[in-house]
Structure 1
Amino acid sequence: MELEQQSTDSLFDFLYIDRVRVSSLTAQLHNAGVVTSVKQTTSDTDKSNKSVELSVKILKGKVGTDDTLTHSQEKTFDASWSLPINFLDKLDEAGMIKTGLNGENLGSVVHSVGKMRIFDVSTIQKIMPIFGEIAQAQLNTVNLPPKAKAKLKGKLTPDEIEISPGLTIGVVKKLINIVPNILQVDFIDENGNLMWMSIDKEYLTINPDDLALKYGGTIPGTWHVIGLIDALPDSVQDQNINNPDFPEHDLKSGLQSFLDMVKVQAGRGSDSYGMTPLLIFRTVG
């Protein structure tokens, strides 16, 4: 990856930094470990000459003396803020970053550029009851005869209202309640490849509650993501990976099918790569 040299007209605004993984990988790339602080010491020396005149009967002259003053200054810098830049430099030096998705294997470090949207499960869990009431209220505004409208209103509870064919608000509420309370990211790169990511709110540089209020579901602009590929689209996985033959177990096999359904409905789609993001950022300036 050709990474721009950071200067006054080229800065990186980091939205997400997985400090645990980035620190671990940086320590493996740099024998001395992760730099946490930098100390800079500077000193200036002032030298002055003084003369003393001597006058005795047999000797007359001057004796000079030098006075030296040394001024020193010590500065300590918090190097933790340089961690993502140092990490990118080390990865780039090692030639470990692949640009875009082109048949990458599991474990590949990829740099992708594109658009993204955020899905905050906790926010959806909070608004679903209100969403049901709003949907029911909207039934009163549809262009139906009064008798048909009254009949429809009397039959349907908020949980019975369909938001898509065969999918009711009640089913969505139950499904959302069993999904882990995480931030999901759908990312589409410049070539149309889809990636699904989950991110830890602790490593965001912005309050996660502000994301929905500021951006809604889609964050505008062009974003860069550096991450590890850890799941492949079903079509690619079926071609490249031989599924292991686990022993038959009715309960576990049934649960596996259910979890696969939950994944598709509330997590990574079958046509998306799975990525563990290390850094998410945009260029500014």
Structure 2
Amino acid sequence: MLGFMFSETNEGDMWFFGKRARKLERESKIVYDFMYHDARRVASFISQMEPGGHLLSMKQSSQEMLSKSNRRLYSGSFSSMFGLKADLEKISGGQSIASFERVYDPLWGNAINFIKYLEGMKLIHESIHNANIGQFVSFSGILKILDLKMLKDAWGMPNVISQIIIGNTSSMTEQQIKENELASDIIKLFPLTLQAYMYEPGENFSASWMNLDPECMVVPADNIIMKYGVTVQGTWKVIGIKDAYVDTVESNDLTFDSIRGRKWEDIASERHSTVIAIFAEILSSMARKGLGRPKIYYGITPILIYREITPNMAE
């Protein structure tokens, strides 16, 4: 609820925020539009970069001498929806001092400061190809969002599954048909996640794969998909951690084909494991191949996905 107390109009509030807007106009020409913001991870890094730890709230106080014209616009005290509190105090000589106090939620400021810290500490690698595992990377390009949870209801539709998973059986052997039917049953066990693909154009082309936490989405994935489909228009930027190279050699992960005709106990003994662990390893390998990161994609843990809004934006 607003608590304005003005003599006639709200022009005093407009006067204060107008000054702030003009100051911002001089200081910066960029506004950040966040699509994805992992606030917990940002907080964990900020707490290591700030001497006092992670900032939860911030209060700013200031005083300003008012002219007669501004004093007529404003009298008494007020608080506003913007977190601004102000008091007018008369001093000797008929002059007045306005005391302003604002309380800020630093959530989004932390995200911007995090970017500045990484740049200032030279922790960001602009080339995803040259970065090592565990290092911060920054790259931009074409963004695709894929919500596998949309497939959840499809598993109960035999006709859909037969077309997507099993396929055209006319050219398949009986063994291939059985394997595809098995895959259609097993895939129901796999996690259906929210995923993003980023394609960086140009000579240093790169393709990256990311798992997204739905709770970190500033814009719900449903809204994005209903507006764009899969490919999101515009140029988007990712700041994240590189945690997987492009696969350059064949994996030695177990598959059902690789153990066919052998005893599970023997395989478990060879790998110093258990039968149930072997089974879980095979399912994990199938999940990655069927629904996870493609072999030719880098693996990225995203922290921020955003675009920069400037006065003269180019496509």
TM-score after normalising by structure 1 = 0.70
Asked if 2 retains the 8 angstrom alpha-carbon contact of 1:17 and 1:279, the reply is: yes
> Given the alignment, which residue of 193, 204, 209 partners 2:222?
209
Asked if 1 retains the 8 angstrom alpha-carbon contact of 2:207 and 2:297, the reply is: yes
What is the distance in 2 between the residues matched to 1:185 and 1:72? 48
Asked if 1 retains the 8 angstrom alpha-carbon contact of 2:244 and 2:298, the reply is: yes
- Corresponding residue number in structure 2 for 1:185: 196
- Corresponding residue number in structure 1 for 2:285: 260
- Corresponding residue number in structure 2 for 1:62: none
Deviations 1:181-225 (A, max 9, x none): 320112222233221111111111112221221121222222111
Aligned AA (1:213): M
> Given the alignment, which residue of 40, 47, 51 partners 2:60?
40
- Corresponding residue number in structure 1 for 2:101: 74
- Corresponding residue number in structure 2 for 1:60: none
Greater strand content: 1
By how many angstroms is 1:247 displaced? 4.9
Asked if 2 retains the 8 angstrom alpha-carbon contact of 1:162 and 1:169, the reply is: no
- Confirm or deny that 1:88 pairs with 2:108: no
What is the distance in 1 between the residues matched to 2:186 and 2:139? 31
Query: Using a 3 Å threshold, how does the CA distance of structure 1 residues 15 and 172 change in structure 2: closer, same or farther?
Result: farther
- Corresponding residue number in structure 2 for 1:97: 124
- Confirm or deny that 1:119 pairs with 2:146: yes
What is the distance in 2 between the residues matched to 1:94 and 1:6? 25
**Where in structure 2 are there 5+ consecutive unaligned residues?**
1-24, 68-91, 252-269, 311-315
Deviations 1:24-64 (A, max 9, x none): 001111111122333222224589xxxxxxxxxxxxxxxxx
What is the distance in 1 between the residues matched to 2:186 and 2:27? 47
119-128 or 204-213: bigger deviation: 119-128
What is the distance in 2 between the residues matched to 1:41 and 1:34? 21
- Confirm or deny that 1:221 pairs with 2:221: no
Query: Using a 3 Å threshold, how does the CA distance of structure 1 residues 133 and 116 change in structure 2: closer, same or farther?
Result: same
What is the distance in 2 between the residues matched to 1:126 and 1:179? 14
- Corresponding residue number in structure 1 for 2:301: 276
Deviations 1:85-135 (A, max 9, x none): 100011111110000222422101000111121221211223455693598
Greater radius of gyration (CA): 1
Return structure 1 stretches of 4+ with deviation > 3 angstroms.
5-9, 44-47, 65-71, 127-136, 158-176
How many residues in Structure 1 have an aligned counterpart in Structure 2? 237
**Where in structure 1 are there 5+ consecutive unaligned residues?**
48-64, 137-157, 239-245
What is the distance in 2 between the residues matched to 1:130 and 1:214? 26
Please give the root-mean-square deviation of Cα atoms over the aligned residues, in Å: 3.6
Deviations 1:156-191 (A, max 9, x none): xx9754499868996675454222232011222223
Deviations 1:233-252 (A, max 9, x none): 221798xxxxxxx9522523
Asked if 1 retains the 8 angstrom alpha-carbon contact of 2:128 and 2:242, the reply is: no
Identity %: 27
What is the distance in 2 between the residues matched to 1:95 and 1:232? 22
- Confirm or deny that 1:235 pairs with 2:260: no
Aligned AA (2:294): G
What is the distance in 2 between the residues matched to 1:204 and 1:110? 20
Query: Using a 3 Å threshold, how does the CA distance of structure 1 residues 44 and 273 change in structure 2: closer, same or farther?
Result: closer
By how many angstroms is 1:69 displaced? 5.2
Query: Using a 3 Å threshold, how does the CA distance of structure 1 residues 282 and 176 change in structure 2: closer, same or farther?
Result: farther
SS at match of 2:248: helix
